[in-house]
Amino acid sequence: MPLGHGPSVHSRLLMPCVRSLVRAGATVWAGDLRGHGGSISERAPKAHLDAATGWAALVDDMTQFAQLAFKDVPLARRLMMGGGSSGHVMLDMLAHASPVSQHLVLAGPTPPKRGVSKVLQGFLRARQLTRPVDAPDPQFLHHIYGFLRAHLPVEADLVDTISPDPDQVARVLADPEGFPTATPTLGYWQAVLPGIQASWSHRDGVHPLSPDLRVLVLTGPEDPQTRGGKLICKIVDSFAARSVANVGMVMLDAVRANILIDAETAPVVAETLGWFGTASQQLPNPRLPDSALAPYVPAMTSLQLVQPGPVLNLPQLIDLCYSAIRDEARWVEMVYCLCLAAEEGGEDLDDVMDALHPHWQRAFELREDLRWASGMGQIYNDLIDRLDIGVAVLGADLRLRHANPAFKRAMIRLLGGTEETLARTTAKQMGLKDRSKALGATSPSGRETPILFDGRVIGVSFVPGSNLANSARVSPVGRLLVVRDTTEQSSSLSHRASLLMLAYGLTEKESQVALLLAEWQSTREAADVLSVSEHTLRSHVKQVFDKMQISRRGNYRSGYYLARWAG
């Protein structure tokens, strides 16, 4: 039997399922189609297909694969099993080739939906106007997973569409040859999505599928692709229109969109082989209300959506676009508004999609920028915490707006008092009115001042750059304070260097040079300590002066104070 899956999973991740089938007595062939997993090469890059010919190429691959696997195997003993896109490739192959199997298992298939199909076509058409077809498209992948996630429990994350088992999800994400790690290109989606839709239709009134074909649909209450089995009626009707009447469904607990990878925890193999071994058995299918809107109801309810009218409201959709920067559910709501309008007619859908797409793309880019900034902020925060550096933000009125725990601890140890008096004390300190005469040299840029206390440097005060300060979109800025209680910190060269690297963006070697110069060592002495030539050291000195905005050695006083603080 050929076994296939995609796009999130390739053959290596299916090995637990393969081993279970082999133990049960089956002979299994599992392989990757072009662009997937182990099939990649320089000529066929990972996660990319030709937009015009990619689907036909996948069908041709599967045909050759099946012919190899089924050589000398009687027709009645042949079974094809596929999940995701591979299942649809198998379905389309059966419509093109002479009968190659009498048994087809579809794990979590995506049945035809008129509204979704129209929205996908409109998005792909608008997308190709601004993006190359051979470049990864993280936005499309994100929306695909977001659309599926809307049918899962509210607390589920996007990657939870893969499986309810966190270990299985981690296994997929850790695989460098699988999706979503390998983001598909726009060309991939342009080839696969129309191909999936077309695999369900019969051509020119002809029913090419064999009436002897038996089909088993594996799904589950949390399978987002069949909407928990609610779309089985569409699947049955599609096969009935092509003369295939023997279609059964098995509901499996603890599975989601990638059913075959859960073969160890769900009875995937037992149910499949049990069905295969009783060739005359036809499993019952529950007939659910066949409403065009029924598949959307669960997600609409969870998102508290109101069904839109047949006329699309472009300003409302644009507002949802930008609201989604902060609230992921608003993107799903927007997609559902488009799908529902398409189900009801939506004659102006293409025009609306073309007008909406620039906002859609820009909103996604802004969201990614915010996520990146947030992630980098967390990294910096972790670094600052590990170094026990106190950081605080003052407003233009020198009132304390934010302070991390290390800042509070340092200021309380140094100045005494409680957190309630910290803001006032800090403001006085930064106003250079402190009883300890906290006076220090100002850097040539005029934007940083060492903070002295009782004759020693305890930190530095920064004023944000002029571009930010002059921006009309932000409130007047104050100061960023960086403080360290030197009584409890290591004075090792590496520790002091790391603080300078953080404050000024120096390299490790440049920060070491700055510290040695701050101790008034000559260039020859500093070169000897660092085991470099004087020429190399002067190059480092130039970089240090440029980054610290110091024009000559005599103006190194602010750097000296900072270096002393770092020690």
pLDDT digits (tens, 9 = 90+) for 68-82: 899 889 998 999 999
Residue 127 lies in a domain: no
Residue with tokens 């290591």: 490
pLDDT band at 283 (very low <50, low <70, confident <90, very high): low
Residue 133 lies in a domain: no
pLDDT band at 490 (very low <50, low <70, confident <90, very high): very low
Domain boundary at 466, 489, 512, which? 489
Residue 24 sits in the same domain as residue 47: yes
CA distance 534 to 151: 66
Residue 437 sits in the same domain as residue 513: no
8 A C-beta contact, residue 400 and residue 392: yes
Domain boundary at 356, 378, 400, which? 378
Residue 348 sits in the same domain as residue 455: no
Residue 171 sits in the same domain as residue 236: yes
Asked, as a colleague might, if the bond just before 7 is cis with ω within 30 of 0, I would say yes
Domain boundary at 448, 466, 489, which? 489
In one letter, which amino acid is 433?
K
Please state which of the ranges 97-111, 299-313, 529-543 shows the lowest mean pLDDT.
299-313
- Shortest CA distance to 222 belongs to which of 165, 174, 178, 171? 165
403: phi > 0 → left, psi -120 to 50 → alpha, else beta; which?
beta
Residue 394 sits in the same domain as residue 437: yes
pLDDT at residue 425 greater than cutoff 50: yes
Residue 50 sits in the same domain as residue 101: yes
Residue 299 lies in a domain: yes
Tokens coding 29: 């062939």
What pLDDT score was predicted for residue 442? 41
Residue 459 sits in the same domain as residue 508: no
How crowded is residue 409: how many other Cβ atoms within 10 Å of its Cβ?
Answer: 16
When divided into structural domains, the chain yields a total of 4
Q: Using one digit for the tens of pLDDT, what is the confidence trace for 148-206?
A: 888 787 778 888 888 999 988 888 888 777 776 678 899 999 999 999 988 988 665 55
3-state secondary structure of 412: helix
What pLDDT score was predicted for residue 469? 38
pLDDT > 70: what percent of the chain?
Answer: 72
Residue with tokens 């499949």: 272
- Residues 513-534, mean pLDDT to the nearest whole number: 81
Q: Structural domain of residue 524, as residue ranges?
A: 491-567
pLDDT at residue 503 greater than cutoff 70: no
CA distance 189 to 318: 24
Residue 473 sits in the same domain as residue 496: no
**String of DSSP letters for 498-512:** HHHHHHH---HHHHH
pLDDT at residue 557 greater than cutoff 70: no
Residue 418 lies in a domain: yes
What pLDDT score was predicted for residue 47? 82
Q: Using one digit for the tens of pLDDT, what is the confidence trace for 237-257?
A: 889 888 898 998 999 988 999
| Average pLDDT of the residues of the chain | 77
β-strand partners of 29: 2
3-state class percentages of the chain: helix first, strand second, coil last, to nearest 5? 50, 10, 40
Residue 123 lies in a domain: no
pLDDT at residue 220 greater than cutoff 50: yes
- Residues 97-122, mean pLDDT to the nearest whole number: 88
Q: Using one digit for the tens of pLDDT, what is the confidence trace for 450-474?
A: 776 666 667 777 776 544 334 444 4
CATH number at residue 29: 3.40.50.1820
pLDDT band at 486 (very low <50, low <70, confident <90, very high): low
Residue 502 sits in the same domain as residue 534: yes
Residue 190 sits in the same domain as residue 303: no
- Shortest CA distance to 122 belongs to which of 354, 368, 456, 312? 354
